[in-house]
Amino acid sequence: MRGMRTSENERLFHAARALLPGGVSSPVRAFGSVGGTPRFLVKGRGSRVWDADGNEYVDYVGSWGPLILGHAHPEVVRAVQETAAQGLSFGAPHPLEVALAEAVRRVYPVLERLRFVNSGTEATMSALRVARGFTGRDHVLKFRGNYHGHADGLLVEAGSGALTFGRPSSAGVPEAYAGLTLVGSYNDPEALEAVFAHHGENIAAVIFEPVVGNAGVIPPKPEFLAALRRLTREYGALLIADEVMTGFRLAPGGATERYGLEPDLVTLGKILGGGLPAAAYGGRAEVMAQVAPEGPVYQAGTLSGNPLAMAAGLATLQALEREPGIYDRLEAYGARLQAGLAEVLTAAGVPHTINRVGSMLTVFFTEGPVGGFEAASKTDTAAFRRFFHALLEGGVYWPPSAYEAAFVSAAHGDEDLERTLAAARRAFA
């Protein structure tokens, strides 16, 4: 596929840049860290996507996680079409909200009650508000390298050391606000102990990614998970598992099921909306009783629980429920992809560590092991760029950043794997 035609993508990107910051509606899409022209994707079927020039790719982005069934799954598309024909939005309760909430509860018993919102950002932001309302405390703890959306209080990261008061990682976030966010070190139970010893009485909630996907894939250490639960209970803080990425992906009941977690609150998104904007936060009934109109914590949304998003999410969860073997297939493809890429990189003498949990995978271009944010940040970004562009040229759409997870869908199969490995071989030939 060398010399692939991209003139229409280039024309569109030129026009887009004049109107949209970076030419995009969300930063990573701009190919800023890998260079080159972003592809304007106009069609998807199963594991494949097509760009505005008609080039076809094996897709490992899957809209950044939602498309666990692959693109344009017939049942999901039909559900959306049938629902749309009845009207797009009412701003009133809808039967599909009840159906989707019930489907969520079947696989996530910890979500005794939940509230639908439109994005993962809203879900985490609202979950923290509820935790603050419930506990009457102001501080929250997050971990360096974990991403929970772009709400002000969550766009903070640590300086050096195990813990600092959060500093904004974006202009426009007031220091005073970021100062209410403590930042800890992921996978470090001793550091966590120290944070709680100093600040435990003031911490309303700890929010964490149960498998990190946003610094590349980093699996959790069991001791870390255990310490999170023990210390939050001991100090009366709520534990919020941010499963926006892992929910319904790592098991029907996400990381909560896979690792036997007992969070007080869970945030969901991505797969929950089946490719349309839907997310949710929920958990213990007494905590969710804080939410308006039942309780004093206000949170609302014009399009929340939108019937189209509920329909897409419900059709997706029903397909997963009907065919539990999907999770074995995701695991099997993920394992073959991991082994195949490792073989290619080893043969080429390229230092690498491939972290994978189920259908989430990251190739770190470093010896590893990669068990935390520090190690992840050692990845050789130049090697990643080479890998990324060889894949793109070879008809494989890999996430355009060294610190993202690649997502496998139920639609990926043998031909996809062959094409992926052939392209990877050319990267370091």
Residues that bind ligand PMP (CB under 6 A): 64, 119-121, 124, 147-149, 209, 213-214, 242, 244-245, 269, 279
Residue whose CB is less far from ligand PMP, 38 or 66? 66
What length is written for the chain? 429
**Which is the catalytic residue, given 188, 242, 264, 416?**
242
Residues 6 or more apart in contact with residue 306 via CB below 8 angstroms? 88, 89, 118, 276, 277, 278
Q: How far is the CB of 345 from ligand PMP (least distance, A)?
A: 26
Cα dihedral angle (200, 203, 208, 214), rounded to 10 degrees?
Answer: -110
**Which is the catalytic residue, given 186, 270, 397, 416?**
270
Q: Answer yes or no: 186 catalytic.
A: no
Residue whose CB is less far from ligand PMP, 60 or 147? 147
Nearest to 206 by CA among 236, 178, 177: 236
Residue whose CB is less far from ligand PMP, 53 or 281? 281
Q: How far is the CB of 208 from ligand PMP (least distance, A)?
A: 9
Residues 6 or more apart in contact with residue 90 via CB below 8 angstroms? 307
Alpha-carbon distance of 252 to 72, in angstroms, equals 21
Residue whose CB is less far from ligand PMP, 65 or 200? 65
Q: How far is the CB of 118 from ligand PMP (least distance, A)?
A: 8
Q: How far is the CB of 212 from ligand PMP (least distance, A)?
A: 8
Residue whose CB is less far from ligand PMP, 37 or 281? 281
Q: How far is the CB of 351 from ligand PMP (least distance, A)?
A: 27
Residue whose CB is less far from ligand PMP, 52 or 312? 312
**Which is the catalytic residue, given 60, 108, 147, 333?**
147
Q: Answer yes or no: 147 catalytic.
A: yes
* CB closest to ligand PMP, residue no: 120
Q: How far is the CB of 399 from ligand PMP (least distance, A)?
A: 11
Nearest to 376 by CA among 408, 401, 400, 342: 401
Q: Answer yes or no: 281 catalytic.
A: no
Residue whose CB is less far from ligand PMP, 245 or 383? 245
Q: How far is the CB of 387 from ligand PMP (least distance, A)?
A: 21
Residues that are catalytic: 147, 242, 270
